[in-house]
Amino acid sequence: MIDLAVLWFALVFVLLGTFLFLDGFDFGVGLLFATRDDEEERETLLAAIGPIWDGNEVWLVVFGGALFAVFPAAYAGLFSRHYLLMFAILGALILRGIAPELYEQRSDDRWKRWWGRSFIVGSALSPFLLGMFAANWVLGASTIVSVPSLAFGLTVVALTLVEGAAFLGLKTRGTLRDEMSDYSARAALAYLVLVVVVIGYLAATRSDLHGALLSPLSLAAVVVSVALVAGVVLASRADRHRAAFAAAAFLPYALVAFVGNLLYPAIDPAVGLTVQEGVVSDLPLTMLTVAAAFILPIVVVYFGVVYSVFSGPADPSETY
């Protein structure tokens, strides 16, 4: 008999990982926008994510909706304790969304410079603040800013940079592609260093997490992450861009597996609420499971069709 509460706990983190994968490379492209001075190269980066970024953000809504529907007490507690952080995340996501739209509206240098910087700031703040939120959730923190939350925020930023550079390895050509491969390899190593720093800090300061940190799933997630980082670096150096992107795509899933394992069996450790205590009753849980079994495959197929339509190198002449 499948434990639906545990199944949905895992599914919530799979949805979070999917958001970090899909919108993660959008954020990374926004960060790499800061490295470009040439207008044609900037247009190429915008054209690479123009048709898909807003669809990718849907997965954040799906993650929040699933948490609300299945674990409503945890949803209410998390969002009410960290509402200022949530407003900051929404502000960063809005800035990241409108900045490239407005960037394209005028050819004035000052206008483009302002909205280009806004795009970069929104792309950096969004994953950073989301990382802080995830750290506060897992560690049961009531404060917004702490050493582990800042470190985890930087870790998520590095992750999105890896994904963005690997994605642009598929969507660009020539010297621009070569530079993206270099950024991808460097960001992957930086991400691994930050993961080690976060784990080391938790091991040194949180004795209550030692069991979870040394559990087989946590160790497996770390080993897989190291292997994926090695895959990104080697594939990028060998100009095997599809392999580099495939390795980068699995990094967020390894990260959320590690985070979810630290959290379980709690769903809201700040108040001591467990997965079994926080889940909705049997009837709505069963109805949600049946609905998800039909809807999620359709959504996955839809995204597959969309990405196949917009596959191939980006053309800078295509407006954002």
Nearest to 236 by CA among 285, 169, 284, 191: 169
How confident is the model at residue 309, as a pLDDT?
Answer: 84
Tell whether 278 is covered by a domain: no
How confident is the model at residue 256, as a pLDDT?
Answer: 96
Q: How far is Cα 158 from Cα 164, in angstroms, rounded to an integer?
A: 10
Residue 48 host element (H or E):
helix 39-49
**pLDDT tens sequence for the chain (320 residues):** 779 999 999 999 999 999 999 999 999 999 999 999 889 999 999 999 988 888 888 999 999 999 999 999 999 999 899 999 999 999 999 999 999 989 988 888 899 999 999 999 999 999 999 999 999 999 998 788 889 999 999 999 999 999 999 999 999 988 999 999 899 999 999 999 999 999 999 999 998 899 999 999 999 999 999 999 999 999 998 989 999 999 999 999 999 999 999 999 999 999 999 999 999 999 999 999 999 999 999 999 999 998 888 888 887 666 65
Tell whether 98 is covered by a domain: yes
Q: Considering all CA atoms of the chain, what is the largest pairwise distance in Å, rounded to the nearest integer?
A: 63
Tell whether 276 is covered by a domain: no
How confident is the model at residue 1, as a pLDDT?
Answer: 73
Q: How far is Cα 50 from Cα 72, in angstroms, rounded to an integer?
A: 34
Rg, Å, the chain Cα set: 20
Tell whether 30 is covered by a domain: yes
**Encoded amino acid at 277, one letter:** E
Q: How many domains does the chain have?
A: 1
Q: Are the beta carbons of 206 and 139 closer than 8 angstroms?
A: yes
How confident is the model at residue 109, as a pLDDT?
Answer: 86
Q: How far is Cα 298 from Cα 79, in angstroms, rounded to an integer?
A: 29
CATH number for the domain that contains residue 36: 1.20.1630
Tell whether 290 is covered by a domain: no
Tell whether 274 is covered by a domain: no
Residue 268 host element (H or E):
strand 266-268
Which string of DSSP letters, residue by residue, matches 242-267? HHHHHHHHHHHHHHHHHHHHHHTTEE
The domain of 139 spans: 4-264+306-310
How confident is the model at residue 320, as a pLDDT?
Answer: 59
Q: Are the beta carbons of 273 and 41 closer than 8 angstroms?
A: no
Residue 300 — φ and ψ, nearest 5°?
Answer: -65, -45
Tell whether 316 is covered by a domain: no
CA dist list (Å): 144 to 5, 16, 82, 271: 28, 20, 7, 16
How confident is the model at residue 319, as a pLDDT?
Answer: 61
Tell whether 286 is covered by a domain: no
The reported pTM is 0.94
